[in-house]
Structure 1
Amino acid sequence: MNKRTLAPPAGPARTLALAQLISRTGDGAYYVTAALFFTQVVGLSAAQLGLGLTIAWTVALALGVPLGHVTDRRGARGSAVFFFLCASVAIGSYLFVRSFPLFVLAACLYAVGQRAGSAAQQALLAGVVPKENLTKVRAVLQASYNAGLSLGAALGGVVLLFDTRGAYLAAFALNSVAFAVGAAVLWRVPPVEAAPAPAEGERTKSVFRDRPYVAVSLLNLVLVLHMPLIDVALPLWIVGHTEAPKWVLSVMFMLNTLAVVVLQVRVARGVTDLSSAARYVVRGALLLGAGCVVFAFSGSGGSAWSAVLLLVAAAGVQTLGEMLSMAGSWEISFGLAPDGKHGQYQAFFGSGLTVAEIVGPLALTGLLVYWGAPGWILLGALFVAAGLGMVPAVRWGERTLAGRGEAVPDVADAAGIADATDATDTADTADRQLTRD
């Protein structure tokens, strides 16, 4: 990959990034306008909206691994296209839904299509990109994800400026079309051979029986609690505990989004194997914890500008921690998954984000808004503990894979003993290999 550009090399990686950019542009417009659309146009109450979305994401969580298994059996490309089209149909149906039961059905289809489609897309990535390049390409996809959300959010802002029924309907139509176009783009990716069916009498091992993988997934669930932080808990914290103006939240959101778009690929270059991945998760967790401490001090009663500086500084520290921990977790999620089972394994690993979206707002609000600074300190400690716990969990996963006859990189120096210069040289070598590919 050329260090001067965010674009992935021509071929499947670039096609996957394009599909990500297109589909998430529609999602960006959806996220900005959804609450007002459902309450002002559809006519749902706030309670109905919250309940319906909770039901939808819970259904997506329950069906994630079974549908991931279907992805492995049917093929990742066809499954990804199918699930993207399901999301397109679901969003399109919102244009005609005017009752709570139909809203719940459409929301369930959308949540399932989005989550299952994301897992299938990761399985497709694992099938068409060499293993040594997976994390770097995944970083490009994350940058495309954030770029699409930013562009879509800007379009959603225009919709809010007009604030008319037609404008809201146009935003949802855009999201529906974006998923359909994304599905068409995904069809250009080479197909991945489906996993063979087990022989008669042979017992297929589920991801739920892979205890090391379950362990790393649960630890990652703690780390991704930073995702709903800026959407729910931080606005309430800023209003109720600091002297900072409300507009600082927009600054923090833009800082996070633009930093990921610009820096995520560069940050991920140092992740080349499970050893470096574990180190990255530890460093990212330490930064997430440090950011929580700074957030705690932002409510200490100083001036408005001191609160703004502390909030922006904390957001910057946490954004770097997010990029480091995510880069490491991608490598771990792919590296510890057996060949032929990336569909169900990626679905299970990604379910942590779904759980965070379901329980995170309530848990973080109670912990931070009602408990205050001690809640921030506790959250930071949880981040650090989860990061440190990832090291023995990855070692456990390595031993498990080795027992199955699958070679994986050694993680003996995962706590950070390896020389930093060697890690940089390894990253540059892998980067040149990706350019040749």
Structure 2
Amino acid sequence: MRGLTLSTFLTTLGDGLFATVSVLFFTRVVGLRMVDVGLGLTLASLAGLVAAVPVGHLSDRHGARRVLLVLTAAAGPAVLGYLAVRSFVPFVVVACVVGIVQRGCRTVLPALIAVIASADERVVARAHQQVVSNIGIALGAGAAGIALYLNTRTAYEALVVGAGLAYAGSAVVLNRIPVRLPPPVPAERPRMWTALRDLRYLRFTGLNAVLSLNGGLMEIALPLWLVTCTRAPAWLFSALIVMNTLLVVLFQVRISSRGSDVERGAWGRASRRAGFLLGGACLLYGTAGWGNALVAAGVLVLAMVAHTGGEMYQVAGEWGLSFQLAPERATGQYQGVLAMGRGATNVVAPVALIAVVKGGQLGWVVLAAVFLVAGLAMPVATRSSAGEGLREGTGAVAEPVR
């Protein structure tokens, strides 16, 4: 697991190096218009979304480690391809390749964890990877700040090269990871779209997609609300992000380790807890619009504590249920469906969350209700029923609903 942790760190370091300045690179170095950059990145996200299930299916058929190694090795050359881009069409092609590779890596990583770790260790192992990912992205973003300060073509191109080298290093480490032999391949392999016929997993994916709006809430709604609708100082947003990162690093593993009792629905309860905390955070964010600078700042700090708690319980519930509800022989495919759900959230989030901010306090109340309903519905929606999805706790596939 240490090797996989180092590989994850290097991959996310590369993500942080380039993602932080990607838009500036595309506009100032490549010379694209902002609208072209937005369209190209949207197409790239959609390409990654569509490829998630097929990539997961490949990992089930050919081994998660092998597929992840191929994708990670391809990530370096794919990102370096941006150095040769000078117009819109090549940019879209390279961006789509990068989107497919990066989304594929995020899809296959949990499937590899399922191979390396035992059933009761997977969520904690996933939490460790998440903490390391946060550290890698933060360090990469910090290093990218040097390029932002220099603001030269050479500095931006150096970040692209640095990201490519980080991905190459991740592939080298991944290639050296010893992995236990997977269980014998069943006589009848699952079809590629089996997960899309599992109604229980689809319900889980949909509700989890709603709860995962908390990521966009932090990136889109919170800064807009803080700057335009509260009297808190603008710099407080950076302090809140740092606080969120520190809380995740300190407590994510501890929270994720509390739900090992899957037979009593611990992961569903974690999602329910996430709904309560995220709903409470939304109400606090809305309340911050009424106070003076000091009061607003204090309320926003409390809101971020609740928000971060909701985030940690949400991902813990997501990881636990995604492993618990998926059959062992189709983990990659099911993770692909989950990735599609999260990707759809990323597409919808900007419009939905800007509408929340424009709606003022009422918008925050509505969003709080959405989180609360999604959290309350999760334990019920993921409960097994006759003839549907998986048999509880067995990892075996029941007859899918048609």
Shorter-normalised TM-score: what interval?
over 0.9
| Deviation string, structure 1 residues 14-56 (Cα, Å, up to 9, x no partner) | 2111111111111112222112111111111111111111111
Change (3 A) 1:404 1:270: closer
In structure 2, list runs of 5 or more residues that go unmatched: 397-402
- Tell me the residue number matched to 1:146: 134
Answer with 347-356 or 130-139: which moved more. Answer: 347-356
**Among candidates 290, 295, 302, match of residue 306 of structure 1:** 295
CA distance in 2, matches of 1:398, 1:335: 17
Change (3 A) 1:73 1:194: farther
AA aligned opposite 1:359: V
Change (3 A) 1:194 1:92: farther
Q: Note the 1:36-115 alignment, pairs <5 A.
A: 36-115=24-103
Verify the 8 A CA contact 2:275 2:374 in the aligned structure 1.
yes
Shift of 1:350: 2.0
AA aligned opposite 1:269: S
Verify the 8 A CA contact 2:327 2:395 in the aligned structure 1.
no
Shift of 1:210: 0.6
**Among candidates 108, 112, 117, match of residue 120 of structure 1:** 108
Shift of 1:199: 4.9
Shift of 1:401: 5.8
Q: How high is the TM-score relative to the length of structure 1? A: 0.85
| Deviation string, structure 1 residues 271-299 (Cα, Å, up to 9, x no partner) | 10332111111111100110000000111
Verify the 8 A CA contact 1:73 1:194 in the aligned structure 2.
no
Shift of 1:85: 2.1
Report the identity percentage.
37
- Tell me the residue number matched to 1:333: 322
In structure 1, list runs of 5 or more residues that go unmatched: 1-12, 409-437
Q: How high is the TM-score relative to the length of structure 2? A: 0.93
AA aligned opposite 1:171: L
CA distance in 2, matches of 1:110, 1:405: 36
Shift of 1:80: 0.2
Verify the 8 A CA contact 1:198 1:204 in the aligned structure 2.
no
**Corresponding residue pairs, total:** 393
AA aligned opposite 1:361: P
Verify the 8 A CA contact 2:324 2:393 in the aligned structure 1.
no
Shift of 1:188: 2.1
Verify the 8 A CA contact 1:87 1:111 in the aligned structure 2.
no
**Among candidates 263, 278, 285, match of residue 295 of structure 1:** 285
CA distance in 1, matches of 2:210, 2:274: 13
Shift of 1:255: 1.1
| Deviation string, structure 1 residues 285-331 (Cα, Å, up to 9, x no partner) | 1001100000001112x222222222222111100111012112111
- Tell me the residue number matched to 1:241: 229
Verify the 8 A CA contact 2:244 2:308 in the aligned structure 1.
yes
- Tell me the residue number matched to 2:269: 279
- Give the alignment's Cα RMSD to 1 decimal: 2.1
Q: Note the 1:357-376 alignment, pairs <5 A.
A: 357-366=346-355, 368-376=356-364
CA distance in 2, matches of 1:94, 1:305: 45
- Tell me the residue number matched to 2:14: 26
Indicate the SS of the match to 1:143: helix
| Deviation string, structure 1 residues 47-71 (Cα, Å, up to 9, x no partner) | 1111111111011111110121111
**Among candidates 316, 331, 334, match of residue 345 of structure 1:** 334
Verify the 8 A CA contact 2:325 2:392 in the aligned structure 1.
no
